[in-house]
A and B are shown apart, each in its own frame.
Chain A
Amino acid sequence: MSNFDFDSIPHIAEVSACHGAYAEENVNEKNLMSFDERQKESKKVLPSIEEAIRRVGLKDGMTISFHHHFRNGDYVINMVMDVIAKMGFKGLTLAASSLTDCHWPLIEHIKNGVIKHIETSGLRGKLGDAVSHGLMDFPVIFRSHGGRAAAIESGELHIDVAFLGAPSCDPYGNANGYNRDSEEGSCCGSLGYAKLDALYADKCIIITDHLVSFPNTPFGIPESQVDYVVKVDNIGDPNGIMSGATRYTKNPKELLIAQYATNAIVASGYFKDNFSMQMGSGGASLAVARYLREKMIEQDIKCRFALGGITGQIVQMHEEGLVKKILDVQSFDLIAANSVKNNRFHQQIDASYYASYLNKGAAVNQLDFVILSALEVDTDFNVNVMTGSDGVIRGAVGGHPDTAAGASMTVVVCPLLRGRIPTICSKVNTVCTPGKTVDVVVTDQGIAVNPARPELYKRFVEAGLPVTTIEKLRDRAERIAGTPESIKYGDKIVGVLMYRDNTVLDVIREVID
């Protein structure tokens, strides 16, 4: 080492990331334990959720986040909230990527003031019902997956602590949506929504039921983003997290809708080699995948990539070579989850990459077409996926408005009637996806094309498809079912629907029984 005077180095004061001269006493003593001993001693692994909450310094009024990859089998949110409530915290904002039926115990935490405000993609069951009946003073903010991602990455939705359940994790925090070391336990596949929370949260706690040896590669969440790891007995009910394979519908109405939708896709001009697509997990959507597969084989057309929530149907097409690549933000069934683990070109992506309007490139913008479901569609092509026919919150925005905005052709599939309730109506209860971004509505009794897309209309007519107008579909529905009496709403606003650019698209009002 040559002798030098630090201050005499030319321009040294202008060099950034230079912290003065080296000093030996600042270098830590080396750890001489073996790798195996070391990982057993990992300081990140804590004995309890309570201890982790203490260490991250949770305070009243902070924002905490969760993901919804465990769907209706999730134990993590209720488990963590019970601990937080017991520790006496108040006034928290719960910003989950979504919430579902199993999260009804949150009602008590809301009543007791532990939770002051909720941000989510959706609400269902008892919790949705309670919110619709005026449970909360602060309206629930509903964001699409892309809108939430944008809010997080812009820093506007600041997460203080993320509590992220993971089916496997090593002692340093490398977490996965499956377990590579054994076939036991829970499995959710992609950790797409959790990835973004881990990246942006001030503090990130992984909660796992399978602590595996380092390195838990390839990982969904890297240790560099993880503060603490807590091992618990169970993070969820495997049967609630995933069904073995998403069931294939036998409902003739859904099959008819799927046939019409498939024929519309084939006639649209977007069905050519190297096309791209996203499909939902609803009965009709899955049937579209099946019919489209036959058309692809018949016409020797391959799909370049399939995006989104991924199902076993898409995986099957991938393994047959019909779908070249899969971009997966959320795995819908066990086949899809195992494919994330086993297929090289089944790529896990985060919520921002999936659908944010704000980043430098989101995959929804590379979609040829998307197949989406709907609770209601109105004659302006606006879609409701949030409130039921009784006005009660029982759905989720999900990626609906994001993919609708991104795809060249947005196809909404729905029956003309559900039981007695018309799906096609004059005005939807709640606008989740604006009609401007919806191109085609396929029902069991005809196809309506947005007047903004005359070329699609022309192609469908030429292909001999049963094309009609959205007004005629509405009239037919009302002729069969009768015109329903409107829902009785109060004045109180209980929910706010954010569009994907985080502007207020609609509000949900309290329901009066």
Chain B
Amino acid sequence: MEEFFVMEIKKTGVAGTMESSDIIVSIEPKETDGIELTLESAVMQQYGKQIEKVIRETLGELGITRAYVNAVDKGALDCTVAARTAAAAYRAAESTDFVWKNGGVK
């Protein structure tokens, strides 16, 4: 991945489901700098910070600096959170230049 690559969010992109152990991530265009994230989670108390960290990291790796992100989590593992965030981002950017990586469990 190029170092200063910036991915532009063009429309609303959604990935994921409301099923148990999944997360649904919706990404929308934003005029100003920064990521504005709202997160609901079935495991907010135990994993809320971790989920937010994974979403922000994933967006950062994709070079997204401006976006509204809305995520509803039903107890997804980190690998799922990252995969859904990336899929939603590619859709929102109308990009098919997928750079998949082996994420998740270390």
Q: Is the pair B105, A419 in contact by a Cβ cutoff of 8 Å?
A: no
A421 beta carbon closer than 8 Å to chain B: yes
Q: Is the pair B75, A421 in contact by a Cβ cutoff of 8 Å?
A: yes
Q: Is the pair A484, B46 in contact by a Cβ cutoff of 8 Å?
A: yes
Q: Is the pair A389, B77 in contact by a Cβ cutoff of 8 Å?
A: no
Number of A-B residue pairs, CB cutoff 8 Å, is 41
**Which residue of chain B has the shortest Cβ distance to A390 in the bound complex?**
B45
A481 beta carbon closer than 8 Å to chain B: yes
Interface residues on A, range: 10 to 19
A115–B99 Cα distance when bound, in Å, is: 62
B47 beta carbon closer than 8 Å to chain A: yes
A488 → B minimal CB distance (Å):
7
A390–B49 Cα distance when bound, in Å, is: 15
Please tell me which one of the listed residues A418, A479, A485 contacts residue B47 in the complex, with CB atoms under 8 A apart.
A485
A142–B32 Cα distance when bound, in Å, is: 55
Q: Which residues of B contact A488 (CB under 8 A)?
A: 45
Interface centre among B43, B46, B47, B106 (most CB of A within 10 A): B46
Please tell me which one of the listed residues A419, A485, A487 contacts residue B75 in the complex, with CB atoms under 8 A apart.
A419
Q: Which residues of A contact B47 (CB under 8 A)?
A: 420, 481-482, 484-485
**Which residue of chain B has the shortest Cβ distance to A422 in the bound complex?**
B46
Given known contacts A482-B47, A484-B43, A420 and B76 CB-to-CB distance under 8 angstroms = yes
Q: Is the pair A485, B105 in contact by a Cβ cutoff of 8 Å?
A: no
B78 beta carbon closer than 8 Å to chain A: yes
**B 16-60 contacts with A by CB, 8 A:** 20-21, 42-43, 45-50
A480 beta carbon closer than 8 Å to chain B: yes
A126–B97 Cα distance when bound, in Å, is: 49
Interface centre among A420, A480, A487, A488 (most CB of B within 10 A): A420
A419–B22 Cα distance when bound, in Å, is: 9
Given known contacts A419-B21, A420-B21, A482-B50, A487 and B45 CB-to-CB distance under 8 angstroms = yes
Interface pairs (13), CB distance under 8 Å: A389-B43, A389-B46, A390-B45, A419-B42, A420-B21, A420-B46, A480-B77, A481-B77, A482-B78, A484-B46, A484-B47, A485-B46, A488-B45
Give me the interface of A with B, judged by CB distance under 8 Å.
389-390, 418-421, 479-482, 484-485, 487-488
